[in-house]
Amino acid sequence: TFHGHPRLLVSDVHSQYESVRRGEREIPEYFNFASDVLDKWSEIEKAGKRPSNSAFWWISGNGEEVKWSFEELGFLSRKVANMLTKVCGLQKGDRVIVVLPRIPEWWLVNVACIRTGQ
């Protein structure tokens, strides 16, 4: 369990890290948090191997909430990543600055940039 809460179990991503640490698995040449973690957890939930949990939960100062599942965050970040690469012409090595307050879209653009490999 995680911090004494039985619902929050250690993910299989942690066990994958442990197997790399012990030398049982090789370190991947490239790691992308969006595809290697978020998409993996989305697949695990779709397969019914773990209960559906929010990947992103934002609460404003006024109490407004935004919750995205792993599947929703993956879908939305792919849309933004496609817009950045296809419409805006973002290429590997380009620098991106996101000037927004810490609203859900700030996080979404950052995950999309990770997804594009920037």
Q: Is residue 6 part of a domain?
A: no
Q: Is residue 103 part of a domain?
A: yes
Burial of 77 (0-12, 13-18, 19+ CB in 10 A): buried
Q: Is residue 44 part of a domain?
A: yes
Q: Is residue 19 part of a domain?
A: no
Query: Could you give the number of structural domains in the chain?
Result: 1
Whether residue 107 is predicted with pLDDT greater than 90 in this model: the reply is yes
pLDDT digits (tens, 9 = 90+) for 4-35: 444 444 455 556 667 667 777 666 778 888 98
Q: Is residue 40 part of a domain?
A: yes
| Banded model confidence at residue 93, pLDDT cuts 50, 70, 90 | confident
Q: Is residue 16 part of a domain?
A: no
Q: Is residue 66 part of a domain?
A: yes
Q: Is residue 88 part of a domain?
A: yes
Q: DSSP states of 22-81 as a string?
A: TTSSPPPS---HIIIIIHHHHHHHHTTSS---EEEEEE-TT--EEEEEHHHHHHHHHHHH
pLDDT digits (tens, 9 = 90+) for 47-64: 888 888 889 999 999 999
CATH number where 91 lies: 3.40.50.980
Parent domain of 64:
31-117
